[in-house]
Structure 1
């Protein structure tokens, strides 16, 4: 059996579109956006700018770059020639999905298409750490095209709009993670692990057989590495220890099975690698803060409301 860990994680995250904007900037400018840990992305169409994400060292973006932040809390965009005394400016709406920053009589020095989405999975806090903190892909026109598609569909009111947006976002996120992992200094994350041939073999085996009694030695055998070499390489590349990754993935799968309420507790425990329901219940309660039975009842009763939120319910801020 084969598995695609990256596709499985992105699908389980249940991405939903909130809004997409096209912004033109002129002159010297800076604008800042506070976030609640939701995903943010942008494609630089023309020009360049400086971006600071969550207080990290600034990134210089240029035409053809694509930036993805899976959990954004604070982001600053500014022109490269910004005076120290320059204050933040608010983008002004100029039309459907279009905004302007800076003097209207000056040619733009930056054109970007950006968007915010949300992950509707109740297990988002567990799954997002498997992704890099920041993904930067360069020279990938497919990402700009996908971003344009998301923007067009966000503004349209065609049948099956939400379903189309969901699929487009899945494609956009997977493509960004794949492309970003190919850069030499790519940050640790699942996509970078999949790009490593040895680690990819172990990751696919874990995803294909989550019920198997995996150990670090067993995963190392799949990767054709010694136990110590595998542990160090996995931790450095994926950004999380092998057994911690296994636990995160098992609990995420268990959460989905419990929400679906199609299997008994013993069957769920067996599906995610636990020999008894009691052992599984202790592990799940430690993760979720409640018993599996209570978790399943609450999520089923709520009807997984977050997964049914329409993107039109989100109020789009200025950018």
Structure 2
């Protein structure tokens, strides 16, 4: 998998959820702080205002996308002057994958597509930690056509679900998340100069090294071999990688291997020796020691605690 695909695969846990809401003015709605979650809003029809917990209101138009990667609270309203009710929209544990609803008065209509994802914060990729509290992607004619297409398909499926709707909606929600992150990173890469993941993924050499690590984490990578892929000298590559990514090349490689191992332990019944082999360790002993250093617990216990109802697994 490539870097961004790996980020998506590793960050989301459980089922996402989504809802198409038709609002009629006057209306206002507060959305709860959701630790461990990320949420989005897309304006499908009409216009409204984002009322953040801090800062000035922002007017939103058809096609605008909002993404809240850290689950911060906010409000939406037909006007900045509309009172926001005390009642907070807070999805429960049994929320549906997709639904439709209507609310408000009898005035001008605004339609929104909202939804959310539960995230694995403990093992989340550093890309997520760099994201701001709110990402606003304004609609611009001719730009981000793939993102708009995903929004249109998702909205149409929720409005008129057909056979296999659960699979279609779940896949489109993941696709929407990927396009949101891609659009944001593309925008950031145009302006970032000091460093960060947007700059790392936009740098041809560093990006090539990262792609190699993610596509084949079990390969016996060295700084020299990764530098060769980047087209840089060993010293120049190590300096540039650390400056952009925030840690040395082999430090990131080890972190990613063990992060991937934790995912395999939670989601598969592969023996520990197989997990070790798949993430690049020559022996189960070496893997167990490295895993315990990183997670504070041996991999076997980690698996039992993560999956308490799972049967005992052979080593």
What is residue 95 of structure 2 aligned with on the other side? none
What is residue 107 of structure 2 aligned with on the other side? 106
Is the alpha carbon distance of 1:170 and 1:34 closer, same or farther for their aligned partners in structure 2, counting shifts above 3 Å?
A: same
RMSD: 3.8
Q: Secondary structure at the residue paired with 2:4?
A: helix
Q: Is the 8 A contact 1:17 1:154 kept in 2?
A: no
Q: Secondary structure at the residue paired with 2:219?
A: coil
1:60-93 residue CA offsets vs partner (Å, 9 max, x unmatched): 543322122233142333566438xx4446599x
Q: TM-score normalised to the size of structure 2?
A: 0.72
Q: Secondary structure at the residue paired with 1:82?
A: coil
Q: Take 2:293 and 2:174, find their aligned partners in 1: how far apart are those partners?
A: 30
Q: Take 2:245 and 2:20, find their aligned partners in 1: how far apart are those partners?
A: 38
Q: Is the 8 A contact 1:32 1:88 kept in 2?
A: no
Q: Take 2:293 and 2:57, find their aligned partners in 1: how far apart are those partners?
A: 37
Q: Secondary structure at the residue paired with 1:117?
A: strand
Which protein, 1 or 2, shows the higher relative CO under an 8 Å CA cutoff with sep ≥ 6? 1
Q: Take 1:291 and 1:36, find their aligned partners in 2: how far apart are those partners?
A: 28
Identify unmatched segments of 5+ residues in structure 1.
305-319
Q: Take 2:211 and 2:163, find their aligned partners in 1: how far apart are those partners?
A: 36
Identify unmatched segments of 5+ residues in structure 2.
90-98
What is residue 181 of structure 1 aligned with on the other side? 185
What is the total number of aligned residue pairs between the two structures? Answer: 285
Q: Take 1:268 and 1:58, find their aligned partners in 2: how far apart are those partners?
A: 49
1:150-192 residue CA offsets vs partner (Å, 9 max, x unmatched): 3554577755443323321221111111122221358987566
2:46 equivalent to 1:38: no
How do 1:1-319 and structure 2 match up within 5 A? 3-14=1-12, 16-24=15-23, 26-27=25-26, 29=28, 31-45=30-44, 46-52=46-52, 61-78=60-77, 81-82=80-81, 86-88=83-85, 90=87, 97-101=100-104, 104-108=105-109, 110-119=110-119, 124-131=121-128, 132-134=130-132, 135-139=135-139, 140-151=144-155, 153=157, 159-183=163-187, 184-185=190-191, 193-214=200-221, 218-225=225-232, 226=236, 227-235=238-246, 242-243=249-250, 245-259=252-266, 260-263=268-271, 265-299=272-306, 302=309
Is the alpha carbon distance of 1:28 and 1:20 closer, same or farther for their aligned partners in structure 2, counting shifts above 3 Å?
A: closer
Q: Take 1:70 and 1:248, find their aligned partners in 2: how far apart are those partners?
A: 22
